[in-house]
Amino acid sequence: MALKEISHHVTRPGRRNDDPEVTIPIATDLVTVPGVPTREDDVNFYSREFPLDSQSVIESAASEWLGPIRRNNSPDSLRQLTYYAKVVAPFAEWVKDCGSQGPTTEASGVDVTELLRHKARELGCGEVGFTFVDKRYIFKSKMNEVRPELTNAMCLAVEQDYEMTQQTPGLASQWTHDDVYERQGFIAQELVGYINSLGYRAQVSGPTIAYGPAMPLFVQAGLGQVGANGIMMSPHFGPWSRLQIIFTDAVVTHDKPIDYGIHAFCQICQVCTNRCPGRALQREKVWYRGAHKNKVTFKRCNPMIARYSDCGVCQKVCPIGAYGMKPVMDHYIETGEVLGKGTHDLEGYELPGKGYYGPGELPRFDRETFEMPRGRSEDWMLMQFRDKLIELKDDPTVDRVQLWKEFREKVEETINRDFLTEMAMDSGGELS
């Protein structure tokens, strides 16, 4: 007899276009709210007073720092990232301008939700949902670039190769997420052309150029809930999908957020929290910008990403990613336990250059591993310049004009940084 009572079932389309629907049972003790517990007044306050901005803007000092660390610790990883940046550069150029591409016919005004959903799934998107463009989740620095008339958001998730993701952390898993980014470029170009042919406009957000964080809109569109690892957990792929949004004025019906039981399940599971090599994940949820969530500690996570080919241990050890949401929820209802928890199959991982860590074992690092500059790179450089002046203040041989010139050149370099360099430096993570 099953140990847990069932509260409700969630029925989702199959993994691929022709696969049968999947019905996931949700235990009564996992019920919280559809989507994420939210305090709307707080979301409004923070988005008004402290608008969101991209990590590569507000943490650009860490991005600067990350490049040389990658170069020293995993040169192959940096080489791969640089290669990938070159491959997707033409797509990034196209993304910047695709919103101005006009419709090629007159719109009929008929609801095209199912047409678009079918087309996107045909092109390889495993999860497709619709919601409104919530301006509270548009980056401050990008606000003027988003076309205001495109008020609907089409959310698209593409699955990464399963076998390769299971080799995380390492070049194989880094390759598969770069490969998905490349595929998303082609998918977006097809979809924008298709939307234009239906008489509407479309503008692409992510993965190369993103106008805001994708997860809040995906959760709003019912495609998953955010796990304790800070990543959207979708029914088929768990944390192993890459997210992209198309803003459009096409006539569509919005989906609704869903309670998959993840919000409560993560508090019972905690595998990613226990296994994170950087100790960057928190057991307890906090209220952050109006949402109740397990917050990822950036200063503990980014050094791992820099040193270990994007890390991703929190994704590799997630039972929902490894076995799928339905088997995990079935097992929980039958036994009250987390499928795979405590096993080497699920929890074991190898850190390049450090060795293998099984359940209950974690690598140790010295404090220097986590010493990373924070904030904007220009502020960080100014502090470095000031420290240098203090250090050399009694040295009459120092050429202060030359020091000033070097400082200015460094700052100008960051202002004129091209896309390839940005990509090679950025962690590209979905972490929050």
Query: 349 pairs with which residues across the strands?
Result: 357
Query: Please, what is the minimum distance in Å from the beta carbon of residue 183 to ligand SF4?
Result: 23
Q: What are phi and psi of 162, to 5 degrees?
A: -65, -50
Query: Please, what is the minimum distance in Å from the beta carbon of residue 13 to ligand SF4?
Result: 22
94-120 burial, b at 16+ Cβ within 10 Å, e below that, comes to bbeebbeeebeeeeeeeebbeebbebb
Query: Please, what is the minimum distance in Å from the beta carbon of residue 265 to ligand SF4?
Result: 6
Looking at the Cβ atoms of 128 and 280, the one nearer to ligand SF4 is: 280
Cis peptide before 169, with omega less than 30 degrees from 0?
Answer: yes
Looking at the Cβ atoms of 176 and 203, the one nearer to ligand SF4 is: 176
Cis peptide before 13, with omega less than 30 degrees from 0?
Answer: no
Question: Which residues lie closer than 8 Å to 309 by C-beta, 6 or more apart?
Answer: 74, 77, 169, 170, 171, 173, 174, 352
Strands (E), 3-108: 6-12, 22-27
Query: Please, what is the minimum distance in Å from the beta carbon of residue 308 to ligand SF4?
Result: 7
Query: Please, what is the minimum distance in Å from the beta carbon of residue 312 to ligand SF4?
Result: 5
Query: Please, what is the minimum distance in Å from the beta carbon of residue 283 to ligand SF4?
Result: 9
Q: Give the number of other Cβ atoms within 10 Å of residue 301's Cβ.
A: 24
Looking at the Cβ atoms of 305 and 425, the one nearer to ligand SF4 is: 305
Q: Are 95 and 188 in contact (CB under 8 A)?
A: yes
Looking at the Cβ atoms of 204 and 346, the one nearer to ligand SF4 is: 346
Looking at the Cβ atoms of 221 and 266, the one nearer to ligand SF4 is: 266
Which residue number places its CB atom closest to ligand SF4?
227
Binding interface with ligand SF4 (CB under 6 A): 227-229, 265-266, 269-272, 276-278, 280-281, 296, 301, 304-305, 311-314, 317-320
* Torsion 221-230-317-205 (CA) sign: positive
Looking at the Cβ atoms of 126 and 278, the one nearer to ligand SF4 is: 278
